[in-house]
Amino acid sequence: MTTLHDTQTAASFTAPDAAQIEALAYTAIAALPLPYRDAALQIALRIEDFASDAMLAELGCESPFELTGLYDGIPLTEKSVADQVLQPDMIWLFRRPILDEWIERGTVTLAELVTHVLVHELAHHFGWSDAEIAAIDRWWE
């Protein structure tokens, strides 16, 4: 994958599309520790350019660029076998805010950023602590 840090000029650069972001997310899932990998594949993954107006309003976001990802579901720590499943758990990744953050940072690869956002959303699903997140996503190193 070509990045802005390669020899292309910004004018000739084509931004990664939703399929490329999705591929990076599934690569990140494949790299998860075994106990989490299969469970993560049970979560629906959606890539959209931006969060919907309803999502942004519910979260109190003033700009669609504030939200790079969202977990929509019931965390495993709160689920019961008696729960009636109305919709699958879902992770949303928002392409344009992710791309903007990637360009602004300039120090991480797009794969690293997508992994970071995905792991953060998986943490909501699995109920991970900060220490568990840090063991999987070495973002702070």
Residue 32 lies in a domain: yes
Task: Tell me how many domains the chain contains.
Answer: 1
Instruction: Supply the range of the domain harboring residue 119.
Output: 16-73+87-136
pLDDT, tens digit, 9 for 90 and up, residues 39-69: 899 999 999 999 999 999 999 999 999 999 9
What is the H or E stretch that residue 47 is in? strand 44-48
Residue 109 lies in a domain: yes
Residue 82 lies in a domain: no
Q: At what angle do helices 95-105 and 110-126 cross, to 10 degrees?
A: 130
Report residue 73: phi and psi, to 5°. Answer: 170, -170
Question: Encoding tokens for residue 97?
Answer: 């805010």
Residue 116 lies in a domain: yes
User: What is the CB-side half-sphere exposure of residue 7 using CA atoms within 13 A?
Assistant: 0
What's this model's pTM, rounded to 2 decimal places?
0.83
Residue 3 lies in a domain: no
- Determine contact, residues 48/99, Cβ cutoff 8 Å: no
CATH of the domain at 56: 3.30.2010.20
pLDDT, tens digit, 9 for 90 and up, residues 102-136: 999 888 899 999 999 999 999 988 888 888 888 88
